[in-house]
């Protein structure tokens, strides 16, 4: 009888522990939340992170601190998110930099499909083919002709090997029949500075970073690497219109939590983020920087990442793009 009672008490304690791990304290959050951005300040992830910090921070009545952890094409920051304590005080942004690295590299210390509790993509932004204005070209065809005539003379910048900007540049080379050399920087912000400063001559660059420099004359846009023209640059043709069909690259940004976060905190973040992207002011703030706000279910996000990895592997094989 005593043994049965002891076993019953032990089972009850285990069940209580499991129940506690599945539910968070009702007064969450009691302190600031860290939002890990796996790239340096000044890159395209920052505007999305800042919108989250402002609008969700106001709603949860706690500061959301944006923590830029760049390096290794986003791998370092993503690993920090994946291995964080699952108490929802460390949250993160990932993007298609992470599906590309998953598709091309064997040394990624996490599985983007298994090691995160994914909530939703929050935004998508198109890329443009841009060059330094010192180049004697006005159109995409001009640039392709110039690059073909001088193989190896010109360079394109990226925020790191196997990232979106690297993949975009190599895809351009493959489709255009050019040999523009890759120069990786330690982050997208530094790559943009290198392009504006003339260290490199070309990038396939997201509109968050490209648009203000095009408007200021510091960069020359040649085409949108997208199916449609962009409202911020309505006179800029698509790559298909400019004579290079198939040259399409977009950047997406998704919100994730470490695996094991209590269910009610997962639901809380899901609710807060959905509310944010439905706010007109937040949507307009993102749109002004070229980002189209969106929201989807965790399953849709997971399925899209799986599709994106498979797509990147196929494109990499077709274009002979490899991790450096």
17-66 pLDDT, tens digit each: 333 345 556 789 999 999 999 998 888 898 899 999 999 999 999 999 99
What was the pLDDT predicted at 93?
A: 98
What was the pLDDT predicted at 20?
A: 39
What was the pLDDT predicted at 40?
A: 86
Mean pLDDT of the 228-248 span: 96
What was the pLDDT predicted at 13?
A: 35
The pLDDT mean for the chain works out to 91
* DSSP 8-state secondary structure symbol assigned to residue 194: H
**What CA–CA distance (Å, rounded) separates 49 from 37?**
7
What was the pLDDT predicted at 274?
A: 98
What was the pLDDT predicted at 22?
A: 52
pLDDT bin (cut points 50, 70, 90) of residue 82 is: very high
pLDDT bin (cut points 50, 70, 90) of residue 71 is: confident
Q: Is the pTM of this model over 0.75?
A: yes
Q: Is the pLDDT of residue 324 over 70?
A: no
What was the pLDDT predicted at 163?
A: 83
pLDDT digits (tens, 9 = 90+) for 288-298: 989 999 999 99
Least-confidence region, from 142-146, 163-167, 222-226, 273-277: 163-167
Residue ranges and CATH numbers for the domains of the chain are 31-125+250-319 (3.40.190.150), 129-224 (3.40.190.10)
Q: Is the pLDDT of residue 131 over 70?
A: yes
pLDDT bin (cut points 50, 70, 90) of residue 5 is: very low
**What CA–CA distance (Å, rounded) separates 85 from 261?**
8
Q: Is the pLDDT of residue 209 over 50?
A: yes
**What CA–CA distance (Å, rounded) separates 133 from 145?**
16
Helix and strand totals (H; E) in the chain: 11, 10
* Strand locations in the chain (E): 33-37, 64-68, 90-95, 116-131, 155-158, 181-184, 202-206, 220-224, 250-258, 292-293
Q: Is the pLDDT of residue 11 over 60?
A: no
pLDDT top residue among 286 and 41: 286
Integer Rg of the chain from CA = 22
Q: Is the pLDDT of residue 172 over 50?
A: yes
What was the pLDDT predicted at 4?
A: 47
**What CA–CA distance (Å, rounded) separates 188 from 194?**
10
Helix (H) or strand (E) holding 168: helix 164-176
């Amino acid at each position: 009888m005593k043994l049965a009672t002891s076993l019953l008490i032990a089972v009850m304690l285990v069940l209580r522990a499991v129940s506690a791990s599945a539910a968070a304290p009702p007064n969450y959050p009691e302190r600031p939340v860290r939002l890990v951005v796996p790239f340096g300040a000044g890159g395209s992830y920052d505007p999305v992170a800042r919108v989250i910090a402002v609008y969700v921070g106001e709603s949860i009545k706690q500061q959301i601190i944006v923590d830029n952890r760049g390096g290794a094409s986003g791998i370092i920051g993503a690993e920090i998110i994946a291995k964080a304590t699952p108490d929802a005080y460390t949250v993160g942004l990932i993007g298609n930099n992470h599906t590309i690295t998953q598709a091309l590299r064997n040394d990624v210390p996490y599985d983007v499909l298994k090691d995160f509790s994914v909530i939703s993509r929050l935004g998508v932004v198109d890329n443009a083919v841009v060059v330094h204005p010192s180049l004697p070209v006005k159109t995409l065809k001009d640039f392709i002709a110039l690059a073909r005539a001088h193989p190896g003379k010109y360079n394109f910048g990226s925020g790191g090997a196997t990232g979106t900007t690297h993949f975009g540049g190599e895809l351009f080379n493959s489709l255009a029949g050019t040999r523009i050399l890759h120069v990786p920087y330690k982050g997208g912000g530094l790559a943009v500075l290198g392009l504006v400063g003339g260290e490199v001559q070309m990038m396939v660059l997201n509109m968050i970073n490209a648009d203000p420099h095009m408007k200021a004359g510091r960069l020359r846009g040649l085409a949108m690497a997208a199916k449609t023209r962009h409202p911020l640059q309505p006179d800029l043709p698509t790559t298909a219109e400019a004579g290079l069909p198939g040259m399409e690259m977009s950047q997406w940004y998704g919100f994730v939590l470490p695996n094991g976060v209590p269910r009610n905190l997962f639901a809380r973040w899901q609710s807060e983020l959905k509310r944010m992207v439905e706010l007109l002011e937040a949507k307009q703030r993102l749109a002004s920087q070229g980002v189209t706000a969106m929201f989807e279910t965790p399953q849709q996000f997971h399925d899209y990442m799986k599709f994106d990895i498979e797509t990147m592997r196929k494109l990499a094989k077709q274009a002979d793009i490899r991790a450096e």
